[in-house]
Amino acid sequence: MSFLFARDGHLLELGIDGLLAEELSAAERAELDQHLSTCAACQARVDEARALMAQPLPALASHTAETEEIKPPDLEQEWSAANNNRLWVATGVLLAVAAALLVVVLPSGSQPEAFTARGGELSLEVYRQTAGASQLLLDGDGAAPGDTLGFRVRLSEELHFALVGADSNDAVYAIWPPQGGSAAMGPMQAPEQLAAAIQLDATPGIERILAVACDAPFQLSDEQVLSISEAGDAPQVQEGCAQELVRLDKARP
């Protein structure tokens, strides 16, 4: 399938991208050149794109951040931290498209960054919400007191899904579905925002966020959630489940 031309016969943006990235075959390039020779509008778009390409790019900050921070937190140290008061909320229904985010209050403290892990059928993104922006958090990142965390989930097919958390005081709480248990969701081609969020308190330690997706309904026990090992091995819920774990270090800015 060629991505050179749009339905109206003019160049697709992807066609221009292919040209600028020098990815086109000789035949495609000839076709494109022929069109450009007769279409001033498309030639102007190509010229504009070339000018933009010539501008300097900002440094790839997220890459630097990620490669540095992908090291897991020192769980041994943090595991038995202090106590956390967890208030949580949760809520609503899926999909950011419509819903106002309900926030929750949890405990914790530190400073976050990056994002998550991903499995074959399930991907989870944890991000810090700030006014008008969101910042993805990676497993092993820090988190700050009062941080509000939001979540995006993608499921490759309809699965039973649960998102739970455990604070540094080993209190386990449900994030999605808010009432606990699991809920049928998916498929989602792109990650969708859950209408639930949590807010971290200032208690130091590791906040563990675990997403599980299974073929059949399931109920996570506190013991299963708390059995997450120091190495980050998530509990075996049942056969055929995908799971993603994100640990946030509330003591590490």
Partner 1 sequence: MPPTLDIDQLYRRYGPLVLRRIRGFFRDPAEAEDVLQEVFVRVMESSDSFRGAARPSTWLYSVTTRHCLNRLRDAKRRRELLDEHGTAMGWGASAESAQQPAQLLIKQVWRELDPELLEMAVYYEVDGMSHGQIAELTGVSRRTVGNRLAQLAERAKDIGGGAR
Residue ranges that bind partner 1, judged by CB under 8 A:
1, 3, 6-8, 10-14, 16-18, 20-21, 23, 39, 41-42, 45, 48-49, 52-53, 55, 57-58, 60-63, 66, 95-101, 114-116, 118, 123, 132-134, 136, 152, 188-193
Nearest-approach distance from CB 155 to partner 1, in angstroms: 12
For 112, 124, 224, the CA distances from 159, given in Å and listed in that order, are 29, 14, 20
Nearest-approach distance from CB 193 to partner 1, in angstroms: 7
Nearest-approach distance from CB 223 to partner 1, in angstroms: 30
Q: Report phi then psi at 27, rounded to 5.
A: -65, -45
Contacts of 139 (CB under 8 A, 6+ apart): 70, 72, 116, 117, 232, 245, 246, 247
Nearest-approach distance from CB 77 to partner 1, in angstroms: 27
Q: Which is nearer to partner 1, 42 or 211 (CB)?
A: 42
Q: Which is nearer to partner 1, 192 or 249 (CB)?
A: 192
247 CB-side CA count, 13 A: 27
Q: Which is nearer to partner 1, 179 or 189 (CB)?
A: 189
Nearest-approach distance from CB 30 to partner 1, in angstroms: 18
Long-range contacts of 22-30 (CB under 8 A, 24+ apart): 28/2, 28/4
Q: Which is nearer to partner 1, 90 or 220 (CB)?
A: 90
Ramachandran bin of 62, using left for φ above 0, alpha for ψ from -120 to 50, beta for the remaining angles: alpha
Residue 119 in tokens: 């499995």
Q: Which is nearer to partner 1, 97 or 231 (CB)?
A: 97
What dihedral do alpha carbons 86, 133, 159, 248 form, nearest 10°? -40
Q: Which is nearer to partner 1, 26 or 133 (CB)?
A: 133
Nearest-approach distance from CB 171 to partner 1, in angstroms: 29
Nearest-approach distance from CB 157 to partner 1, in angstroms: 13
Q: Which is nearer to partner 1, 62 or 169 (CB)?
A: 62
What dihedral do alpha carbons 204, 105, 84, 174 form, nearest 10°? -110
Helix (H) or strand (E) holding 233: none
Q: Is the torsion defined by CA of 126, 110, 72, 214 positive or negative? A: negative
Ramachandran bin of 170, using left for φ above 0, alpha for ψ from -120 to 50, beta for the remaining angles: left
